[in-house]
Amino acid sequence: MIAYDFQLLLKHLLEHGFSWAPNQEILYRDQYRYTYADMVQRVLKLASALHGLGVRKGTKVGVIEWDSHRYLEMYFAIPGIGAILHTINPNLAAENVIYTIQHAEDEILIFHEDFLPLAEQVRERIKSLRGYILIRDRKDQPDIDWVHAEYEAFIAASARLTELPDFDERTQATLSYTTGTTGSPKGVYFSHRQLVLQTYAGWGSMAIFGNYGGIHKHDVYMPLTPLFHVHGWGWPYVATAFGLKQVYPGKYDYELILRLVAEQGVTLSHCVPTILQRVITQPSAKGLDLTGWTLVRATAVSAAGPACPPPGPPHLLVVPAPRFPGFPFGPYLPASSPAIDISLTTLAFLGLYLCQGGSHGSMSHHLKKDRPSGRAGGHFGPGGRGPARYGAGRRQRR
């Protein structure tokens, strides 16, 4: 008898998070909140709506959007029907954005209203795009006659699929392009199998860190890396599979980010040093208790090794952590990762950091300390404790 050949598809990550925590919350800024159960319904309706627009297996769908619950829905709905999610970097020069859309052969473009001027340039230059979906945060805005539909209306008008289909796990799921490379941006694609293996490796690697900045089911996750940048380093998939509470900040407003951290009890984020610096130097950061807020950071390294992180406010100390297998960083995975068949071209230029709130001293010193007594592991199923946390002054989990 041949064993069941289980396909590693992104939809299973969503199913896992939903079955584990159907009533867990996902928030967008201070404007919108819903549950995992709601998200699943919207993913199925978005998938159906895209079908109605003629999106089929292999169709490229470009997205220009801020970090939002809508982007998270597209992470699952577009690859979930066998189409290809092209995460477009709006920070590129307009010519490069146009080049990537043209090179990718996108057929549908979903874009936020803030990027309307860019979308208009794209429309003038690329005639092969046959559908435009507009995302709006502001109400009472004038209609745009060349837009096929507004995102919320597009979903609302569609019946939902019963379920996302099955297909080969090696089906292409996403596509993104490099920045800062010689010549034109270079395309990199990812299969369902690669992304699922990356997610499994990432959550396993983070979970074992336990007391030193690991991840567990009580974390509250907020990305501070753009979701167009190598899938937000893979963290949205990890957070969804774990059933974590998720907070999406949208367009970066650093005062709002700090308020969301405080009000929503955010405990897990990731960012580059520039974003971290902008957050912790805001006036409202002074005197704000950031105890328990863990940040994973990527930074450049030199021949002398990674530079020491800049000092932060009293309750947010940044400490370096060793690179370890399977870290959920898209193409920045080390050679021992099971998802090694994705691009490794930028690995040599990155150092990985773990930014742990409430810890003191360098990581080399931190790891030499005697670990506190107590249970460092834990059951990850419903009703389980999860790994115990023993940092100095850890915030109470919500």
**pLDDT tens digits for 165-223?**
999 999 999 999 998 778 899 999 999 999 999 999 887 777 776 665 678 889 999 99
Give the C-alpha separation, 56 to 50, whole Å: 8
Angle at CA of residue 379, ends 373 and 385, nearest 5°: 65
Beta-carbon contacts of 187 under 8 Å, excluding residues fewer than 6 positions away, are 100, 103, 104, 175, 176, 177
Is residue 181 located within the same domain as residue 200?
no
CA distances from 100 to 74, 79, 372 (A): 19, 19, 51
Give Cα 226 to chain centroid, integer Å.
7
- The answer to whether 169 and 192 have CB atoms below 8 angstroms apart is yes
Residue 2 pLDDT > 50, yes or no?
yes
Mean pLDDT score, 282-295: 84
pLDDT at position 56 is 97
Q: Tell whether 5 is covered by a domain.
A: no
**pLDDT tens digits for 91-119?**
999 999 999 999 999 999 999 999 999 99
Per-residue tokens: 199: 């997610």
* pLDDT band per the 50, 70, 90 thresholds, residue 332: very low
Query: Which DSSP helix (H) or strand (E) runs through 296?
Result: strand 294-299
Per-residue tokens: 234: 């893979």
* pLDDT band per the 50, 70, 90 thresholds, residue 77: very high
Radius of gyration of the chain, Cα coordinates, nearest whole angstrom = 21
Q: The CATH number of the domain where 272 resides is what?
A: 3.40.50
Give the C-alpha separation, 86 to 64, whole Å: 9
- The answer to whether 389 and 359 have CB atoms below 8 angstroms apart is no
Beta-carbon contacts of 345 under 8 Å, excluding residues fewer than 6 positions away, are 178, 331
Is residue 199 located within the same domain as residue 336?
yes
* pLDDT band per the 50, 70, 90 thresholds, residue 330: very low
Burial call 217-254: b when 16+ CB within 10 Å, e when fewer: bbbbbbbbbbbbbbbbbbbbbbbbbbbbbbbbbbeeeb
pLDDT at position 1 is 59
Between 7-21, 129-143, 148-162, 238-252, the lowest mean confidence (pLDDT) is in: 129-143
Between 54-58, 66-70, 182-186, 235-239, the lowest mean confidence (pLDDT) is in: 182-186
Is residue 120 located within the same domain as residue 183?
yes
Q: Tell whether 373 is covered by a domain.
A: no
Is residue 75 located within the same domain as residue 203?
no
Q: Three-class SS of residue 86?
A: strand
**pLDDT tens digits for 206-218?**
777 666 567 888 9
Q: Tell whether 387 is covered by a domain.
A: no
For the chain, give the mean pLDDT. 78
Is residue 183 located within the same domain as residue 221?
no
- The answer to whether 248 and 73 have CB atoms below 8 angstroms apart is no
* pLDDT band per the 50, 70, 90 thresholds, residue 361: very low
Residue 137 pLDDT > 50, yes or no?
yes
Is residue 129 located within the same domain as residue 174?
yes
Q: Three-class SS of residue 381?
A: coil
- Last residue in a domain, options 188, 222, 255: 188
pLDDT at position 29 is 97
Is residue 149 located within the same domain as residue 22?
yes
Is residue 227 located within the same domain as residue 327?
yes
Q: Whole-model pTM? A: 0.79
Q: Three-class SS of residue 323?
A: coil
pLDDT at position 181 is 77
Is residue 117 located within the same domain as residue 196?
no
Q: Tell whether 91 is covered by a domain.
A: yes
Find the domain containing 178 and state its range.
Answer: 10-188
270 pairs with which residues across the strands? 296
Is residue 295 located within the same domain as residue 153?
no
**pLDDT tens digits for 249-266?**
999 999 999 999 999 999
Residue 300 pLDDT > 80, yes or no?
no
- Last residue in a domain, options 188, 206, 232: 188
Q: The CATH number of the domain where 43 resides is what?
A: 3.40.50.12780
Q: Three-class SS of residue 135?
A: strand
Is residue 329 located within the same domain as residue 267?
yes
Query: Which DSSP helix (H) or strand (E) runs through 298?
Result: strand 294-299
pLDDT at position 251 is 97
**pLDDT tens digits for 223-248?**
999 999 999 999 999 999 999 999 99
Q: Higher model confidence: residue 397 or residue 332?
A: 397
Count structural domains, the chain. 2
Is residue 112 located within the same domain as residue 247?
no
